[in-house]
Structure 1
Amino acid sequence: MLYLIDEPMAEIGLRTAATDTDGTVVLIQDGVLLDPDLEAPTIAVERDVEMRGVTLPDRIDTVTYDKLIELVVEHEVKSFV
């Protein structure tokens, strides 16, 4: 399951993702400003990171929007955007 997380819905989205041992968190838009403390793999959208001038922790990888589209097509998604 992919959990798309933006800042306004972050609290509920991250709580939900924390209960999924197979989930992946995707920080999108202002969600890239967050530093979630989860055991789930966490990725951020590269363009959103660049536009906001954020430096991510080493444990958070980045993906392009094109790659995100592939992931969305391949996985079940819960959106908190």
Structure 2
Amino acid sequence: MLYLIDKPMAEVGLRTAAEDPEARIVLIQDGVYLAPDVDAPVSAVARDVDVRGVTLPSDIDRISYDAVVESLVEQEVKSFV
């Protein structure tokens, strides 16, 4: 499942994702400020990273909005935005 996570809802979103062995997390908007300690792949929306001038940790991949939209169509999503 894909988890879209923004900073205001991060605590509940990351806690929910941690219970899902198939979780894939995408940090969006102010969520790109986070450095979640989770056992799941984590990506951050590249445009949000650039706009905020954030340097991502090496274990967080950059992803385009187009790729996020493609993922939304392909799999189930839980939004914490």
TM-score class, shorter: over 0.9
Query: In angstroms, what is the RMSD of aligned CA positions?
Result: 0.4
Q: TM-score, normalised by structure 2?
A: 0.98
Amino acid at match of 1:25: I
Runs of 5+ unmatched residues, structure 1? none
- 1:45: which partner in 2? 45
Kindly tell me the number of residue pairs found equivalent between the two proteins: 81
User: Runs in 1 of length 4+ with deviation above 2 angstroms?
Assistant: none
Q: TM-score, normalised by structure 1?
A: 0.98
Aligned mates of 1:18, 1:62 — CA distance in 2: 21
Aligned ranges 1:1-81 → 2 under 5 Å: 1-81=1-81
Aligned mates of 1:74, 1:62 — CA distance in 2: 19
